[in-house]
Amino acid sequence: MSVRLFSIVLLQWVTNLFAVLVLLQFVIPGSWQGNLKAVPIWLVSFLLAFLFAEWAFDKRLPERRDTIELILVWVVVSVTLNILGSVLVFKTARVALYGTDLHITMLFEIIAIVLAAHATRRRKILRALGEGMEG
């Protein structure tokens, strides 16, 4: 399961990076500054995290352990790739480690993962109860 989670998180990170670059280049006006520019990026990160987390929980009913495992893999992969990108672009890891945007983005993504686990669990339980009532 860890290889599958790693692949999903890696694909989510690349998709998120591409979506943020498209937002910054073509959608968000250049006159926006600070948090006004960051809010759409956080929203896109939240939505992508929710969708990819639901995909990760697709195979079975997610338990608390599954949610924690996904969060741990998510944080390790995301932080590692952000540090790597920071080192490649800025020649230092401080930008990724001490920048608040990574921390806020991770907070929104963790909230999205927990909500996706709850929504997936609820949907699968209701589907199982609905099937049992029909028969």
Neighbours of 44 (CB within 10 A): 19
Is residue 75 pLDDT above 90, yes or no?
A: yes
**Per-residue pLDDT at 4:** 87
Token reading at 76: 């390790």
Global pTM? 0.87
In this prediction, residue 135 has a pLDDT band, given cuts at 50, 70 and 90, of very low
Is residue 31 pLDDT above 80, yes or no?
A: no
Q: How is residue 58 annotated by DSSP?
A: S
Residues above pLDDT 90, as percent of the chain: 47
Cα–Cα distance measured from residue 68 to residue 62, given in angstroms and rounded to the nearest whole number = 10
Contact 24, 44 (CB under 8 A): no
Domain boundaries, the chain: 2-134
In this prediction, residue 67 has a pLDDT band, given cuts at 50, 70 and 90, of very high
Q: Which residue has the tokens 């490649």?
A: 88
Helix then strand then coil, in percent of the chain rounded to 5, is 85, 0, 15
**For residue range 37-63, what is the model confidence (pLDDT) as tens digits?**
888 889 999 999 999 999 999 877 889
**Per-residue pLDDT at 43:** 94
Q: Which of 5, 123, 130 is nearest to 69 (CA)?
A: 5
Is residue 34 pLDDT above 80, yes or no?
A: no
